[in-house]
Amino acid sequence: MYTIRVSESSDSGAAGKECSMSWTLDAARRVWICSTYSDLDGGAINNLAEYGEPSSPYEHPGWIEGFDPDFGNITVEMTQLEVMNHGYGRNITADKFPIVKRFLDETPSIPFGTYSFDRLVKLKYARESDRWIHSNLYGWGPYAITAGDLDSADAAYVHGSVALALMAGTRFCNAQTVRRVDAEIGAGDDNWDFESATIPDVVNVAVAVLLGPDHYNLENPIKIRFTGPGKRSVVEQNIRVERAK
């Protein structure tokens, strides 16, 4: 039986031109910053694809007059803590990663000590690919994936296939009486267009016709980047030590 603890931290958004309660334009970098996971929904994505802004010209407040979008480089940023605490990372804990479960369940072939994930790779205990798990929001995704604060249809439309990782702050502790993983978990960067590799082309076309914007102006997929520290999740396994009689 594992003992699991998850902690949340607060974060703050970047300064810039405000366009709504949760959307800010970083004008210097030409990046849209979304501070609330549920506001990166299908409507906002369609507006970004058609107008280059998360709001339409008919939304006031919201629309930023005079902004000239680059449809080849539409970028959205959101903090890791937002997507991990309020989005599809909500149910993801350290024990969802196979490498963590193996470390806890087996007797590791490494000396007692505390290790970063990169150190485990150098020691050949783990592979770089073990850092990641992959799932989707289409209804059959593994690892107890959830739509979070978004409607499930919006989550599938916006995010589709997703990846989550053990970030640099993760530590594996191998001691005589306990094995513990103090994990920092984050979401992999995402993108959005109508060319999902997870679902058939005919479905991609149908989704574009039924749900997509009236005018699709993107020249490249919308980039969705997750920034800052990840969610902390601690899982440990107590080890029974036989004492000599």
Pairing of strands 3-7, 23-26: unpaired
What are 162's two structure tokens? 């997703």
Q: How far apart are CA 174 and CA 179, in angstroms?
A: 5
Percent share of the chain, pLDDT over 70: 80
Instruction: Could you list the beta-strand ranges (E) of 198-245.
Output: 222-227, 231-238
- Model confidence band, residue 199 (pLDDT cutoffs 50, 70, 90): very low
Closest CA to 144 of 188, 94, 88: 88
Mean pLDDT of 190-204: 58
Mean pLDDT of 42-51: 93
- Model confidence band, residue 204 (pLDDT cutoffs 50, 70, 90): very low
Residue 63 has a pLDDT of 87
Phi, psi of 158 (to 5 degrees): -80, -45
The domain limits of the chain are 3-238
Find the range with the poorest average confidence among 11-15, 84-88, 163-167.
11-15
The per-residue pLDDT for range 123-178, each reduced to its tens digit, is 999 999 999 999 999 888 899 899 999 999 999 999 989 999 999 999 999 999 99
Per the CATH hierarchy, to which homologous superfamily does domain 3-238 belong? Answer: Colicin M, catalytic domain (3.30.450.400)
Does position 60 have pLDDT exceeding 80, yes or no?
no
Residue 59 has a pLDDT of 80
Phi, psi of 235 (to 5 degrees): -135, 140
Mean pLDDT rounded to a whole number for the chain: 86
Pairing of strands 178-187, 113-116: unpaired
The per-residue pLDDT for range 102-133, each reduced to its tens digit, is 999 999 999 999 999 999 999 999 999 999 99
Do residues 70 and 201 make contact, with C-beta atoms less than 8 angstroms apart?
no
29 vs 16, more confident: 29
Q: How far apart are CA 26 and CA 33, in angstroms?
A: 7
